Structure 1
Amino acid sequence: MDSESPSSPTGECAKAKVQVVQSIPLGSPADPYSGAPYIPPIGGSVPSWEAFVRLANESTTTLDFTAMYFDLLGLEDRQQFNASEMQAFGADRGEAVFAALEAAAMRGVQMRILLGTLNDPMNSTEVRTLLSYPSVKARTWNPVKWYDGGIMHMKLWHSNGRAAYLGSANTDWKSLAQVQELGVLVNGTAATADLGRLFETFWKWASPDVPAQQMIVFSDKYAAPLTLPPWDINVPLELRVPMAAPFDLLASSPLAALSSVSSPQLLCPDEEDPEAAAANAYVSASPGGAVTAGRTFDQAALIDTVRSATTNLSLSVMDFLPASSYTGGHGSGPLYWPELVNAVLAVAYSKPVRVRVLVSRWAHTSKMMGPAMKQLADGLAACTTAYPTCAGSLEVRQFELPGWQNTTGPNATFPPYSRVNHAKFIVSDQRANVGTSNWEWGYMYQTAGSSWNTNDTKIVAAVQQIFDQGWESPFAVPL
């Protein structure tokens, strides 16, 4: 789903270098303090903490980033684990990122931090320290004002207007050392400009001058009343109020998207790689209130990648639920959200595609997800009793990162809220989607999120390698 498209592209390619970014948890149940990754990263990938440090260290003029919450220094975890244990866990990675941020602030880099509301990050020690420098500003984006639900879940960094990160890693030391993550690091002024526009959209939206505005719209599709801001693309066109938006929604706006599913940005081959080929990419967004002119809705980007498959389709995410799992903004009951599941099943039914779905199991997995994934896994059952049979196949597994059962209670050997595959991506034989959102109704319709979508063959191959590594490991188990 696109809103009005901006002016047509010139056909000129944007110079870009795109790299896969990974976090691989350190330690194992047999040796929690080994300081070694439990599996090796793929060749050519950049560690998440190094990507963040690089973006901060190389910033000379501007540095913008989003943060659902802040926990780079692990102050609470240090009350449970001693200094040597924290060192072995990799806590120094968070310290390095924070030191790089503070050094950038000391240099006078104009820094803008767009915060969520989890654990009140505006009043955290880390954010208060950064705000003590005159060049640093922070705002809070609280979607409850417009949606009665949702969170800031986008993980986006943009440095000097020429380098950017988009992916699943949080500003949390555990996200850098004890949680499995995936993102992309993009270098190139033109190639990152669209990510800059997306950050600017949310920054304007988070202004304290923007009032709380809500419409209650009954959705026939979801059979429920939805709470939405008046300009959201999910408000019926005849009821929508574009002028209520805190930013210009016209195609001529400086916040109009520079890429979309129907008009992706052409990327030049990497000059440093003689085997590189031209590619394209686009940036999507959620919720619908962030879909400016030409921007692709994040749900549509996910489905676009699913439908692109001709032989192979691999999906990996922490939480996958064809419903709403959080309350607020959609009436009193849950919603059924079939769009992504339907797209996956349609591919498996109609194309000779091997479909594999990998979801996570950890100490905080929703009890709703197991039955939902079993239902998905049984989605081709009719093909065994009917003629003609399905063209493709479908299998679902759970990824249990070693140590996930040792993160709670007084005898925990790993920090809380760790030891989980937190990455969110889809890769087909044609393209890859690397995102920030779990796959559940609220993440699409109430929550800040985005994804990098590309047919870059090197990125597609790298993301597929990451999926295969997990799928073929002993940690990917049947439901």
Structure 2
Amino acid sequence: MRKREPARGDTPLRRSTRLQQEKTWEQPQVSKEPQHSKERSITDILQPRESIRAHRQVIPTKEPSPPPPSHGPLLLSEPEAPKDSKQAVSEKDNLLPPVVRLRRLDIPQEEESSPHQNKPKEPRDPDVEWEVVKDQQARLRVLETRPRSTEERATVEQGAPSQQGMVANRTLRQQARVGLAPRWWGPASQIQARKESDPHKLPRTTLPPQARSEKWTKRLFSLPSLCLLLFLLVLGFACWFIWRYGSPVSFLGLAAYGQWGLSSMPRLWSGTEECTTQCSLVLVESIPGSLTYRPEDPRHLSIYQAWMDLLNGANSSVDIAAFYFTLRDSDIKVEDPSSQQGRDVFDSLLGLPSRGVKLSIAVNSPQMSEDDTEELARQGADIQYVNMKDLTGGIVHTKFWVVDQKHVYIGSANMDWRSLTQVKELGAVLYNCSCLAQDLGRIFAMYHMLGGEGVSIPATWPASLAAESSLDQPLKLQLNGAGAELYLSSSPPALCSAGRTSDLTAIVRTIEDAQAFVYIAVMDYEPQCTFCSPRRFWPIIDDALRAAACDRRVNVRLLISCWPHSHPAMFVFLESLSILSQKPLGCPIEVNLFVVPGGGERPPIPYSHVNHNKYMVTDRLAYIGTSNWSEDYFTKTAGVGLIINQSYHDSITAGQEFTLRHQLEQVFLRDWDSSNVLPLSSHRSCTKKN
């Protein structure tokens, strides 16, 4: 017989044909070949090849069945083949089903063993296909250690039309290569292949626990898994950042300012103090010595004393937003005894960093004198110069303090020694009111971010700076034991973060809410753009006052400052308002001028002796602001306002005198009825020195 390689187009034997041949093989046949040739042929055929001997493994069984007589040569005792280290089979390999008679195909003549050789010739390992025949009595295990190349496997699989034989051969080859090559087919594919080949004979492959653990560890720490984990982390952080800080565009804008460095990152996770709703409020004033009141007229805590108390009690931080800093009289190069209070405040500020209290200041730039701010910066204060003219075309006219994130001052007083002794000022101090302090601190953070050169206002402010109080959602807390609703307003609109009510809206809505009276005390009132070129008419607040007086018959009173720096055009607008009170209209509108007498200083102190108040009080609300009433201050200039509603507690007799609305009403009536008031017709005396 000659062994020949099967042609690619050869068709494997059918099962019926194979069974018929097996029956024929078992019967004795008369061969035409000589007897000695037949024996040699059978011996060569039944002699296991080296590749088979290297991989033959006897599977022990409890009750091995005797082999059939016709296959005796297969069971002859032979010396065990030497184990090849390269072809050694791992003990963890899966047991394969029994494999029985291996039918040798035709061998080419040049590869057939010579009959004169005493020992069989080491045959070459021709790449031939072996037909697997199932037999329950055989106990041989054949492993294929030399995997076929991709082209050879594809050729053999294409040439086998029998799906059953192809699945069986492929399954055996795949199982034989367990642990030798990586497999990309899952357990489901293995089970399906076993079912198709022989679900009863193929045992289930089970990896030991350690192998399974290593397998899942490799999958977990693979490159795709790590990339997926990193993507999920980045996605989670992005979602959290947008929820907490708003649009990423605002973050990129703020990053350009240099405000989002490594030092600011811990603030993202730092907790805030629990909001306190039990607040105390004190109305504070600066009354120049030249002003005289009756003994029965109300007086309040001085701004100087309120500032000193806040500085002496500061423990962690003091944040100040101001128009300018001239607490010492060095700006006028003249020593004045009245500047001592300003020096005391400056010395207290100078000592804050040495006490471990962080001092942060946001001030308008440029200033007439930077002596105070430069001295504070040398002692450790954080000074941010905000050039609002380049940002919005206005100035930083804001005047407020935030101390330890729980105490607040808002009012008309600048950080100027004259504001404590030479100028009439009014403000409010709220103690232990962290709800309001944290909200005001967000406005300060916006000013602080705008400090420096080359900055710009972002299109969207971060969500972390969003308003915590507004006209629609005011803070509800206790002020001096009485219930109150209050919120903060801000200007200009470009500096209003999400939810913040603009200062102009707050003023107009306060006027529209009035039912009985509206009392206004401001330094300047002009329904025009004062600092625009050319000037333009701006009647928004003026129209609201006219509608309140003429439509709803609300009593409107305006107390305007009269001093050498008053604009002549302002008095013309005021006259157009007061003339509405004449018949036949009879609108209840009254306008008076307030004059602060000079102190007779020689030389005179510049920018002093003026009523610098900026507040409004109605029968329902109280408003304390930092801006004069003209278009520039609401569209370009930075300012804030505090609006408090305690109308539903005014009817209560007990504690009524402690409400801000009631105190503010009494202050206005005191000034309105004082001897320092002039009729509007005397306005020429205000500007004759200008």
- Matched residues in 2 for 1:44 and 1:364: separation? 27
- Matched residues in 1 for 2:531 and 2:296: separation? 34
Note if contact 2:276-2:434 (Cα within 8 Å) is conserved in structure 1: no
Cross-structure match for 2:486: 281
Aligned residue for 2:444, secondary structure, equals: helix
Counterpart check, 1:200 vs 2:445: yes
Listed one character per residue, the Cα deviations across residues 197-221 of structure 1 (whole Å, up to 9, x for unaligned) are 111122122354524xxxxxxxxxx
Listed one character per residue, the Cα deviations across residues 236-262 of structure 1 (whole Å, up to 9, x for unaligned) are xxxxxxx634x32xxxx1211111111
Structure 1 segments, 4+ long, off by >4 Å, are: 37-44
Cross-structure match for 2:20: none
Report which stretch shifted further, 98-107 or 161-170. 98-107
Structure 1 gaps of 5+ residues are 1-5, 7-11, 29-36, 212-228, 230-242, 271-275
Cross-structure match for 2:598: 403
AA at the equivalent of 1:55: L
| Structure 2 counterparts to residues 19-30 of structure 1, below 5 A | 19-27=282-290
In structure 2, which of residues 449, 453, 459 is the aligned counterpart of residue 244 of structure 1? 459
- Matched residues in 2 for 1:363 and 1:106: separation? 42
AA at the equivalent of 1:116: N
Q: CA deviation at 1:379?
A: 3.3
Cross-structure match for 1:112: 360
- Matched residues in 1 for 2:605 and 2:438: separation? 37
Listed one character per residue, the Cα deviations across residues 260-290 of structure 1 (whole Å, up to 9, x for unaligned) are 11111101243xxxxx320110000001111
| Structure 2 counterparts to residues 47-446 of structure 1, below 5 A | 47-77=302-332, 79=334, 86-87=336-337, 90-117=338-365, 119-121=367-369, 124-134=370-380, 136-147=381-392, 149-187=393-431, 188-208=433-453, 210-211=455-456, 244-245=459-460, 247-248=461-462, 253-270=463-480, 276-327=481-532, 332-381=533-582, 384-385=583-584, 393-403=588-598, 411-412=602-603, 414-446=604-636
In structure 1, which of residues 447, 469, 477 is the aligned counterpart of residue 637 of structure 2? 447
- Matched residues in 1 for 2:276 and 2:517: separation? 28
Q: CA deviation at 1:25?
A: 0.8
Listed one character per residue, the Cα deviations across residues 410-462 of structure 1 (whole Å, up to 9, x for unaligned) are x54x4111110001011001011000000000000000101100013510111
- Matched residues in 2 for 1:362 and 1:339: separation? 25
Listed one character per residue, the Cα deviations across residues 290-347 of structure 1 (whole Å, up to 9, x for unaligned) are 11111000001111221121111100100000001113xxxx4112111111111111
Note if contact 1:435-1:451 (Cα within 8 Å) is conserved in structure 2: yes
- 1:54–1:39 distance in 2 versus 1, CA, 3 Å: farther
Higher RCO (CA-CA < 8 Å; seq separation 6+): 1
AA at the equivalent of 1:186: L
- Matched residues in 1 for 2:294 and 2:348: separation? 27
- Matched residues in 1 for 2:278 and 2:438: separation? 12
Q: CA deviation at 1:400?
A: 1.1
- Matched residues in 1 for 2:459 and 2:453: separation? 15
Note if contact 1:315-1:425 (Cα within 8 Å) is conserved in structure 2: yes
- Matched residues in 1 for 2:296 and 2:382: separation? 35
Listed one character per residue, the Cα deviations across residues 55-96 of structure 1 (whole Å, up to 9, x for unaligned) are 2222111110012111111124452xx5xxx22xx3221011
- Matched residues in 2 for 1:363 and 1:467: separation? 23
Note if contact 2:290-2:596 (Cα within 8 Å) is conserved in structure 1: no
- Matched residues in 2 for 1:41 and 1:74: separation? 34
- 1:281–1:172 distance in 2 versus 1, CA, 3 Å: same
Note if contact 1:19-1:46 (Cα within 8 Å) is conserved in structure 2: yes
Note if contact 1:400-1:475 (Cα within 8 Å) is conserved in structure 2: yes
AA at the equivalent of 1:97: V
Note if contact 2:364-2:388 (Cα within 8 Å) is conserved in structure 1: no
Structure 2 gaps of 5+ residues are 1-244, 246-274, 651-658, 681-690
Note if contact 1:24-1:38 (Cα within 8 Å) is conserved in structure 2: no
Richer in strand (by share): 1
Q: CA deviation at 1:138?
A: 0.7
- Matched residues in 2 for 1:41 and 1:150: separation? 42
Note if contact 1:314-1:426 (Cα within 8 Å) is conserved in structure 2: yes
- 1:40–1:261 distance in 2 versus 1, CA, 3 Å: farther
Q: CA deviation at 1:370?
A: 1.2
Report which stretch shifted further, 50-59 or 281-290. 50-59
- 1:93–1:307 distance in 2 versus 1, CA, 3 Å: same
Q: CA deviation at 1:164?
A: 0.9
In structure 2, which of residues 647, 652, 667 is the aligned counterpart of residue 466 of structure 1? 667
Note if contact 2:298-2:670 (Cα within 8 Å) is conserved in structure 1: no
Q: CA deviation at 1:353?
A: 2.0
Alignment: residue pair count: 396
- Matched residues in 1 for 2:318 and 2:453: separation? 21
- Matched residues in 2 for 1:47 and 1:290: separation? 31
Cross-structure match for 1:273: none
Report which stretch shifted further, 467-476 or 346-355. 346-355
- Matched residues in 2 for 1:450 and 1:42: separation? 29
Note if contact 1:13-1:266 (Cα within 8 Å) is conserved in structure 2: no
Aligned residue for 2:382, secondary structure, equals: strand
Listed one character per residue, the Cα deviations across residues 116-150 of structure 1 (whole Å, up to 9, x for unaligned) are 125345xx22111111123x111111222122x21
- Matched residues in 2 for 1:471 and 1:43: separation? 13
Note if contact 1:15-1:190 (Cα within 8 Å) is conserved in structure 2: no
- Matched residues in 2 for 1:14 and 1:191: separation? 9
- 1:38–1:437 distance in 2 versus 1, CA, 3 Å: same
Aligned residue for 1:278, secondary structure, equals: strand
- Matched residues in 2 for 1:349 and 1:101: separation? 50
Q: CA deviation at 1:105?
A: 2.4
- 1:198–1:352 distance in 2 versus 1, CA, 3 Å: same
- Matched residues in 1 for 2:297 and 2:469: separation? 29
- Matched residues in 1 for 2:621 and 2:297: separation? 18
Aligned residue for 2:408, secondary structure, equals: strand
Aligned residue for 2:593, secondary structure, equals: strand
- Matched residues in 1 for 2:501 and 2:624: separation? 14
Richer in helix (by share): 2
- 1:118–1:415 distance in 2 versus 1, CA, 3 Å: farther
AA at the equivalent of 2:500: R
Cross-structure match for 1:221: none
Pairwise CA RMSD: 2.3
Report which stretch shifted further, 437-446 or 456-465. 456-465
Cross-structure match for 1:226: none
Q: Percent same amino acid at aligned positions?
A: 31
Listed one character per residue, the Cα deviations across residues 146-176 of structure 1 (whole Å, up to 9, x for unaligned) are 22x2111000100110101111000001011
